[in-house]
Structure 1
């Protein structure tokens, strides 16, 4: 079974030649196994042919030429990884020459079987079937028609029962090779699917972390930016108000550092429970206070009967409101914002409105806020709509589905 390892790097995709499916170190291991298996086959062929010659005195005795042919057909197996079709053709031709020379029948068929197995498993099915079929036809011609013109003198034709046995043996070798090839293709496909799934999970985790960091840093740094401007403006004229701005900066930066540390801890110890619970809608009062420290007055209205949300939905709802308020601080001239939360049957509705107008102030924004909100909603099967409100200003509307277990 060394055919499963040690392939070259330039083979077709889906075979062991494909470097994406070859085990680490498989090439060196495959070379060792190939040499060892060839040595075992050579010993079996030479020893078996010697015993077979003793039981077939009517055949031509094995001489230097006969032993040389046996060694040659075994040595041809060494490059079977690189040139499987050529090796199969070569072993078949040397074996036919061996029989045409009148040497005893024996295990000389083994190298042909090994070469056929290698060619089929490597994906050269059609060539292998044609070569093996041609080999059997040539053997029939030698054994039943051309034997009169070949050594040894006085040789008789072989029995058709023997030909049927050889045909059955050849069919079994090819059928077994096909079975191994199919199983190998399934193994390769499953391995690629597992690798693709692992890459997809890694990409999703990177995207999740990027969204978390963006939401945490964007909001906190926007507050810090606004308060730093207030502090600088009032440093000389109103030191007490400047002190309040610096206090707000300290609190916002401390909270941001705590949330960033929580995200990074999840990278260092994957699978561990977080040290602090993820934020949810229960922290909206804190969010409103932070917005107020940046000069934005936030009113929160709740419609319907609140019910427990899953951690994922609760976090997504909090981040949507947080990003919407951050955008008001950054890009709107309005100093008021209205947040409406609607608990419905099977859904959670969010709406954030401001009165505008839009400003050109960027405050260090990256432009990924709306994209991140849409990704969060899409991950839960929900939707996000953002655009100008009918009466002026800007509106963000989110509809997040609620799983049945969340409404119990």
Structure 2
């Protein structure tokens, strides 16, 4: 507001100087009268941004009076700013209307003066002058207004793209955290569960001889070392760049080693492979291995003393299934709802779980386009995952 008032004051002073210098059409009118229309157009400058239409109205009054008493050059020049401000800061629809009105007025001004003077050259000169005073400010303002609106739209679009990029980044971080949590759970739970069960059994029994205790300690040591090795492998994978650690990836071909580890932990486990073994895609291979690992861990923690493991290769899929009897002596560790996981009280002698195992297995199957089911039937707790396999991948290894 203060800036506009300053510009209006400077324009008024400059206009007075031009009037004193004779920049007006001399008529039988006192020179002081020319300051009146000049004041009106300068008042329009003072309100050009806050009330552009009011400024145009003041300028119109000023130019009308000036045409009667003058006209004077400073009033006409400042009036062009009134028109420009109305087109730039006023409503968009008004600026379009103003362009049409200015064009009509310019043509009429040229035509009227040409007819009155009887000279076509006067028509052309006056028409061009009227166009410069009326049409040019409007078109200039409309071009600038369009550029500003386009710049604002580009800024809004850039902000939207930045917000979408940030949402994508947050989603990627959340997905990676979930994947890492799933890997850590599946990698460590199997080894630590075996350690906890064996150490609990050794502490709770007093009839074990030195040979049995040594066997338990050896198994505990083996699980500790393997858990530590797998943890180091995962840390190395996280630190390296690229995807060059194919050899360190757990494979479904190692299923028998998982079963053997469960046997050494004290659980009788039967292992069967049906169909012609074939190598799945890396994602399916890892998912099958981790699902089998977690299913055996749950059987070791919450099931009975035995488990039946079956890996079935078919033309377009591989099925991993683990069945283990429900241990009635400690209460049913699962209910009848598929996918539910209910753990016994801590005093029951089993290792309590966090409930993340079934969720992780279901997520792994879904991520590779497979299916997963878990539930009780016929006194057995069954975990079954069906994972897709392409037809043209030939077997690269033989089952043990």
TM-score by length of 2: 0.67
Query: 2:360, 2:202 → 1: CA distance?
Result: 31
TM-superposition CA deviations, 1:92-147 (whole Å, max 9, x none): 6556646754534268479849975xxxxxxxxxx8425646877998999999xx
Task: Name 1:105's counterpart in structure 2.
Answer: 77
CA distance in 2 between counterparts of 1:268 and 1:182 reads 42
1:384 is paired with a residue whose SS is: strand
Q: Aligned residue for 1:7? A: none
| Closer, same or farther: CA 194–290 of 1 in aligned 2, 3 Å | same
Change (3 A) 1:56 1:350: farther
**Pairwise CA distance, 1:195:** 1.7
Bigger Cα Rg: 2
Deviation at 1:319, TM superposition (A): 0.7
User: Residues 310, 90 of structure 1: CA spacing in aligned structure 2 closer, same or farther, 3 A cutoff?
Assistant: same
Cα separation, 1, equivalents of 2:22 and 2:297: 95
| Alpha carbons 2:251, 2:286 under 8 Å: kept | yes
What is the distance in 1 between the residues matched to 2:270 and 2:323? Answer: 10
Q: How far apart are residue 396 of structure 1 and its match?
A: 1.1
Correspondence for 2:320: 350
Which of 382, 389, 392 in structure 2 is aligned with 1:395? 382
**Deviations 1:6-27 (Å, cap 9, x if unpaired)?**
xxxxxxxxxxxxxxxxxxxxxx
Q: Given the alignment of the two structures, is residue 58 of structure 1 paired with residue 24 of structure 2, yes or no?
A: yes
What SS does the corresponding residue of 1:105 show, helix, strand or coil? Answer: helix
Q: Per-residue displacement from partner, 1:358-399 (whole Å, max 9, x unpaired)?
A: 44355131111111111111111111011113x321111111
Aligned to 1:5: none
Distance 1:134 1:164, change over 3 A: closer
Deviation per residue, 1:293-351 (Å, 9 max, x gap): 22112222122222222221111000111111111111112x22111112222222111
**Contact residue 352 and residue 396 of structure 1 kept, 8 A:** yes
Name the count of aligned residue pairs: 328
Structure 1 142/383 Cα, relative in aligned 2: closer, same or farther at 3 Å?
same
Partner residue, 1:16: none
User: Judging changes above 3 Å, is the alpha-carbon distance between structure 1 residues 101 and 110 closer, same or farther for their aligned structure 2 residues?
Assistant: closer
Alignment partner of 2:283 out of 285, 308, 312:
312
The match for 2:202 is 231
Cα distance change of structure 1 residues 374 and 228 upon mapping to structure 2, 3 Å threshold: same
Q: State the 1:168 CA deviation.
A: 3.3
Q: Secondary structure at the match of 1:295?
A: coil
139 and 110 in structure 1: CA distance in 2 versus 1, 3 angstrom threshold: closer
Alignment match, 2:168: 197
Going from structure 1 to structure 2, the CA distance change for 1:403 and 1:109 (only over 3 Å counts) comes to: farther
1:402–1:272 Cα change, 3 Å: closer
Question: SS at 2:190's partner residue?
Answer: helix
Per the TM alignment, residue 160 of structure 1 is displaced from its structure 2 partner at its CA by: 5.7
State the match for 1:257 in structure 2: 228
Larger deviation: 95-104 or 197-206? 95-104
* Residues 4-19 of structure 1: pairs in structure 2 closer than 5 A: none
Match for 2:263 among 287, 292, 297?
A: 292
Across the aligned residues of Structure 1 and Structure 2, the Cα RMSD in angstroms comes to 4.3
Contact 1:279 1:318 in 2 (8 A): yes
Alignment-derived partner of residue 371 in structure 1: 359
The 10-residue stretch of structure 1 (156-165 or 209-218) with the greater mean CA deviation from structure 2: 156-165
Structure 1: runs of 5 or more not aligned: 1-37, 77-86, 117-126, 146-155
The answer as to whether partners of 2:76 and 2:133 remain within 8 angstroms in 1 is no
**Could you tell me how far 1:57 is from its partner in structure 2?**
2.5
- Asked if 1:168 is matched to 2:131, the reply is no
Unaligned stretches of 5+ residues in structure 2 = 26-33, 64-74, 110-125, 334-343, 396-400
Change (3 A) 1:138 1:316: same
Structure 1 length normalisation: TM-score? Answer: 0.65
Q: CA deviation at 1:258?
A: 2.3
Indicate conservation of the 8 Å contact 1:384/1:398, yes or no: yes
Give CA deviations for 1:55-107 in whole Å, capped at 9, x if unaligned.
Answer: 9933968999799869957xx8xxxxxxxxxx5x4456556646754534268
